[in-house]
Copies of this chain bind each other. A is one copy, B any other.
Amino acid sequence: MSGLRAKHKADRHQRILEASAELFREAGYEGSKIEAIAAQAEVSVGTIYNYYQNKGDILVAIVSMEVNAVLRAGRGVVANPPTNVGDAIDTLIGIYVEHSLIYLSKEMWRQAMAISMQQPESPFGRTYTALDRALTDQICALIVRLQDLRHVSADADGRALGELVFNNMNMMFIEFVKQADATINELRAAIRRQNRVLLDAISV
């Protein structure tokens, strides 16, 4: 594929993405009709379906960008964690949840999760699952790092621990986006309390 065609393709991808992101935030995911996205992006409805399998696919592209940004930010913590185990985990989780509503609304998160559940085998579903997996891996990496630094007992099952921490956080996050009036601070406090149970088991 050469010049012009590739350029058009990139342009249109971008236009569709920008139009969608804008509309999703303004009118919500359900409130954004495909026709409206098409009009805003100055392409036809059919073209959108050339670029994305379905409406949900557009959403996942946006969610992916967000989660990848968070994963990058998390790397710093893993490389250089606070020496206190509780603080280390809390810092990483803080990065995740504090960023969560900057580009995405609660409704967008809910829709994204719902679609990944309905269609786990679709490209969308796979991508979303892969993102969850990457977050889990990052938490596990942090714990292994803390074990290397002798802040966590070496005979703890790092993988299991990381999964436990991630799964709990993720479930709490799900409840958070389901409740319109829940705040990020409440969420973090609740997770902190839950994690405290674990810390006793593993701190050196």
A198 and B201 contacting across the interface, CB-CB below 8 Å: yes
> In this assembly, does A164 line the interface, its C-beta being within 8 Å of a C-beta of chain B?
yes
A164 partner, pick from B117, B178, B197, beta carbons under 8 A: B197
Report the contact-size class of chain A (Cβ under 8 Å from the partner).
35 or more
A114 and B118 contacting across the interface, CB-CB below 8 Å: yes
Tell me, in angstroms, the Cα distance from A110 to B180 when the chains sit together. 23
A110 and B120 contacting across the interface, CB-CB below 8 Å: yes
> In this assembly, does A168 line the interface, its C-beta being within 8 Å of a C-beta of chain B?
yes
CB contact under 8 A between A167 and B171, given known A118-B114, A125-B178, A178-B117: yes
A170 partner, pick from B110, B114, B164, B171, beta carbons under 8 A: B171
Copies of this protein chain in the complex: 2
> In this assembly, does A59 line the interface, its C-beta being within 8 Å of a C-beta of chain B?
no
> In this assembly, does A72 line the interface, its C-beta being within 8 Å of a C-beta of chain B?
no
Binds B, one of A47-55, A80-88, A153-161: A153-161
A198 partner, pick from B172, B174, B179, B198, beta carbons under 8 A: B198
Some 10 contacts from A to B, beta carbons below 8 A apart, are A110-B117, A110-B120, A117-B117, A120-B179, A125-B178, A156-B197, A161-B197, A164-B198, A167-B168, A201-B202
Which A residues form the contact surface with B (CB < 8 A)? Answer: 110-111, 113-118, 120-121, 125, 129, 156-157, 160-161, 163-164, 166-168, 170-172, 174-175, 178-180, 193-194, 196-198, 200-202
Please give 20 more A-B residue pairs, beta carbons under 8 A apart, in addition to A157-B196, A161-B197, A201-B201.
Answer: A111-B118, A114-B118, A117-B117, A125-B178, A129-B178, A156-B197, A157-B193, A157-B197, A160-B194, A163-B168, A164-B168, A164-B198, A167-B194, A168-B171, A171-B171, A197-B198, A197-B201, A198-B198, A200-B201, A201-B202
